[in-house]
Protein backbone atom coordinates (compact mmCIF):
# COMPACT_ATOMS: atom_id res chain seq x y z
CA UNK A 1 0.00 0.00 0.00
CA UNK A 2 1.07 3.53 -0.68
CA UNK A 3 -0.22 6.75 0.84
CA UNK A 4 -1.63 9.33 -1.57
CA UNK A 5 0.63 11.91 0.09
CA UNK A 6 3.69 9.88 -0.96
CA UNK A 7 2.93 9.57 -4.69
CA UNK A 8 5.32 11.04 -7.22
CA UNK A 9 5.44 11.37 -10.99
CA UNK A 10 5.60 7.90 -12.56
CA UNK A 11 4.05 6.07 -9.56
CA UNK A 12 1.64 3.32 -10.60
CA UNK A 13 -1.23 2.12 -8.45
CA UNK A 14 -4.60 0.35 -8.60
CA UNK A 15 -7.74 2.43 -8.03
CA UNK A 16 -11.31 1.25 -8.72
CA UNK A 17 -9.97 -1.92 -10.36
CA UNK A 18 -7.94 0.06 -12.93
CA UNK A 19 -4.19 0.71 -13.03
CA UNK A 20 -3.14 4.37 -13.15
CA UNK A 21 0.18 6.13 -13.57
CA UNK A 22 0.76 9.59 -12.09
CA UNK A 23 1.55 12.07 -14.88
CA UNK A 24 1.56 15.15 -12.67
CA UNK A 25 0.83 15.89 -9.02
CA UNK A 26 0.61 18.83 -6.67
CA UNK A 27 0.42 18.80 -2.87
CA UNK A 28 -1.92 21.61 -1.83
CA UNK A 29 -2.22 22.97 1.70
CA UNK A 30 -4.78 25.76 1.70
CA UNK A 31 -4.75 28.32 4.49
CA UNK A 32 -8.10 27.03 5.69
CA UNK A 33 -9.15 23.39 5.63
CA UNK A 34 -7.35 20.10 5.12
CA UNK A 35 -4.48 19.45 2.73
CA UNK A 36 -5.09 17.46 -0.46
CA UNK A 37 -3.22 16.05 -3.45
CA UNK A 38 -4.27 17.19 -6.92
CA UNK A 39 -3.21 14.62 -9.53
CA UNK A 40 -3.36 14.00 -13.25
CA UNK A 41 -3.58 10.26 -13.87
CA UNK A 42 -3.28 8.12 -17.00
CA UNK A 43 -4.97 4.74 -17.24
CA UNK A 44 -2.10 2.47 -18.35
CA UNK A 45 -4.35 0.13 -20.34
CA UNK A 46 -6.66 2.56 -22.15
CA UNK A 47 -4.43 5.67 -22.16
CA UNK A 48 -7.28 7.89 -20.90
CA UNK A 49 -6.19 10.74 -18.62
CA UNK A 50 -8.21 12.27 -15.82
CA UNK A 51 -7.78 14.72 -12.97
CA UNK A 52 -8.35 13.34 -9.47
CA UNK A 53 -8.16 14.98 -6.04
CA UNK A 54 -7.00 12.66 -3.24
CA UNK A 55 -6.80 12.90 0.53
CA UNK A 56 -3.09 12.61 1.55
CA UNK A 57 -3.91 9.86 4.07
CA UNK A 58 -5.81 7.76 1.49
CA UNK A 59 -4.25 4.33 0.93
CA UNK A 60 -3.72 3.09 -2.62
CA UNK A 61 -2.72 -0.40 -3.75
CA UNK A 62 0.66 -0.36 -5.50
CA UNK A 63 0.60 -1.96 -8.98
CA UNK A 64 3.28 -4.54 -9.75
CA UNK A 65 4.88 -3.37 -12.97
CA UNK A 66 7.42 -5.56 -14.74
CA UNK A 67 10.19 -3.94 -16.79
CA UNK A 68 12.02 -5.60 -19.64
CA UNK A 69 15.03 -4.45 -21.65
CA UNK A 70 14.35 -4.83 -25.39
CA UNK A 71 15.79 -3.71 -28.72
CA UNK A 72 13.83 -1.59 -31.21
CA UNK A 73 13.86 -3.28 -34.62
CA UNK A 74 11.64 -1.45 -37.12
CA UNK A 75 8.29 0.17 -37.93
CA UNK A 76 6.07 -1.33 -40.64
CA UNK A 77 3.81 1.73 -40.90
CA UNK A 78 1.33 0.66 -38.22
CA UNK A 79 3.23 -1.31 -35.57
CA UNK A 80 6.62 -0.86 -33.92
CA UNK A 81 8.56 -4.09 -33.41
CA UNK A 82 10.80 -4.78 -30.40
CA UNK A 83 12.93 -7.85 -29.71
CA UNK A 84 13.76 -9.50 -26.40
CA UNK A 85 17.55 -9.84 -26.63
CA UNK A 86 17.54 -12.97 -24.46
CA UNK A 87 14.84 -15.05 -26.16
CA UNK A 88 14.74 -13.30 -29.58
CA UNK A 89 10.93 -13.05 -29.31
CA UNK A 90 9.46 -10.09 -31.17
CA UNK A 91 6.84 -7.82 -29.63
CA UNK A 92 4.67 -5.60 -31.87
CA UNK A 93 3.34 -2.42 -30.21
CA UNK A 94 1.01 0.29 -31.51
CA UNK A 95 1.76 4.02 -31.53
CA UNK A 96 -0.02 4.71 -28.21
CA UNK A 97 2.55 2.64 -26.30
CA UNK A 98 5.61 4.16 -28.01
CA UNK A 99 4.61 7.78 -28.70
CA UNK A 100 6.81 9.36 -25.99
CA UNK A 101 9.94 7.30 -26.72
CA UNK A 102 9.83 6.95 -30.51
CA UNK A 103 10.96 10.58 -30.92
CA UNK A 104 14.35 9.63 -29.48
CA UNK A 105 15.06 6.06 -30.59
CA UNK A 106 16.30 4.67 -33.88
CA UNK A 107 16.60 1.11 -35.14
CA UNK A 108 18.73 -1.23 -32.98
CA UNK A 109 18.54 1.04 -29.90
CA UNK A 110 17.82 -0.59 -26.54
CA UNK A 111 14.75 0.59 -24.60
CA UNK A 112 12.88 -0.35 -21.43
CA UNK A 113 9.34 -1.68 -21.82
CA UNK A 114 6.91 -1.55 -18.88
CA UNK A 115 4.45 -4.45 -18.61
CA UNK A 116 1.38 -4.95 -16.39
CA UNK A 117 -0.10 -8.46 -16.16
CA UNK A 118 1.54 -9.52 -19.43
CA UNK A 119 0.38 -6.47 -21.41
CA UNK A 120 3.03 -3.91 -22.43
CA UNK A 121 1.84 -0.34 -21.98
CA UNK A 122 4.86 1.98 -22.17
CA UNK A 123 8.23 2.23 -23.88
CA UNK A 124 10.91 4.27 -22.12
CA UNK A 125 13.91 5.62 -24.06
CA UNK A 126 17.32 5.88 -22.37
CA UNK A 127 17.74 9.12 -20.38
CA UNK A 128 20.30 10.45 -22.87
CA UNK A 129 20.60 9.73 -26.58
CA UNK A 130 23.05 10.86 -29.26
CA UNK A 131 21.44 11.74 -32.58
CA UNK A 132 22.61 13.38 -35.81
CA UNK A 133 21.22 16.79 -36.82
CA UNK A 134 19.63 16.38 -40.26
CA UNK A 135 18.14 19.84 -40.75
CA UNK A 136 18.95 23.27 -39.33
CA UNK A 137 20.00 26.72 -40.47
CA UNK A 138 23.74 27.22 -41.00
CA UNK A 139 25.71 28.28 -37.92
CA UNK A 140 26.62 31.93 -37.44
CA UNK A 141 30.34 32.37 -36.81
CA UNK A 142 31.23 34.24 -33.64
CA UNK A 143 27.68 34.49 -32.28
CA UNK A 144 28.04 32.26 -29.22
CA UNK A 145 27.87 34.72 -26.33
CA UNK A 146 24.16 35.57 -26.52
CA UNK A 147 22.79 32.12 -25.68
CA UNK A 148 20.42 32.35 -28.66
CA UNK A 149 18.96 29.15 -30.11
CA UNK A 150 17.55 27.91 -33.39
CA UNK A 151 15.33 24.94 -34.30
CA UNK A 152 16.99 21.72 -35.47
CA UNK A 153 15.59 18.39 -36.62
CA UNK A 154 17.41 15.17 -35.70
CA UNK A 155 17.47 11.86 -37.60
CA UNK A 156 14.35 10.52 -35.83
CA UNK A 157 12.28 13.53 -36.94
CA UNK A 158 12.19 15.21 -33.53
CA UNK A 159 12.64 19.01 -33.55
CA UNK A 160 14.30 20.89 -30.68
CA UNK A 161 16.11 24.17 -30.01
CA UNK A 162 19.90 24.10 -30.22
CA UNK A 163 22.63 26.76 -29.88
CA UNK A 164 23.55 28.74 -33.02
CA UNK A 165 26.90 26.94 -33.48
CA UNK A 166 25.26 23.51 -34.13
CA UNK A 167 25.34 22.56 -37.84
CA UNK A 168 23.84 19.85 -40.03
CA UNK A 169 25.70 16.57 -39.59
CA UNK A 170 26.67 17.28 -35.96
CA UNK A 171 25.96 14.58 -33.38
CA UNK A 172 24.21 16.03 -30.32
CA UNK A 173 23.27 14.63 -26.92
CA UNK A 174 19.60 15.03 -25.93
CA UNK A 175 17.95 14.55 -22.52
CA UNK A 176 14.88 12.40 -23.38
CA UNK A 177 13.06 13.30 -20.15
CA UNK A 178 12.83 16.98 -21.13
CA UNK A 179 13.59 16.89 -24.87
CA UNK A 180 16.35 19.47 -24.44
CA UNK A 181 19.78 19.81 -26.07
CA UNK A 182 22.62 18.85 -23.71
CA UNK A 183 25.86 19.07 -25.71
CA UNK A 184 27.62 18.39 -28.98
CA UNK A 185 29.44 15.07 -29.17
What domains appear along the chain, each with residue ranges and CATH number?
A: 2-62 (2.30.30.30), 66-124 (2.40.50.140), 128-184 (2.40.50.140)
Residue-wise pLDDT for 17-33, tens only, equals: 888 989 889 988 888 88
Rounded to 5 degrees, φ, ψ at 102 are -65, -20
Average pLDDT along the chain, 185 residues, taken 10 residues at a time? 86 88 89 89 85 91 90 92 91 87 92 88 90 85 70 93 89 91 90
Q: Which residues lie across from 119 on neighbouring strands?
A: 116
Integer Cα distance of 53 and 161 in angstroms: 35
Query: 36 near 53, Cβ under 8 Å?
Result: yes
Amino acid sequence: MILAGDIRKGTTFVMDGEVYQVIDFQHVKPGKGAAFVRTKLRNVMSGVTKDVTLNPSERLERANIETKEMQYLYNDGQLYYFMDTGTYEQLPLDYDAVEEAIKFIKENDNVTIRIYQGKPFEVIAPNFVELEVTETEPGVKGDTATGATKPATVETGFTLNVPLFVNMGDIIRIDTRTGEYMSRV
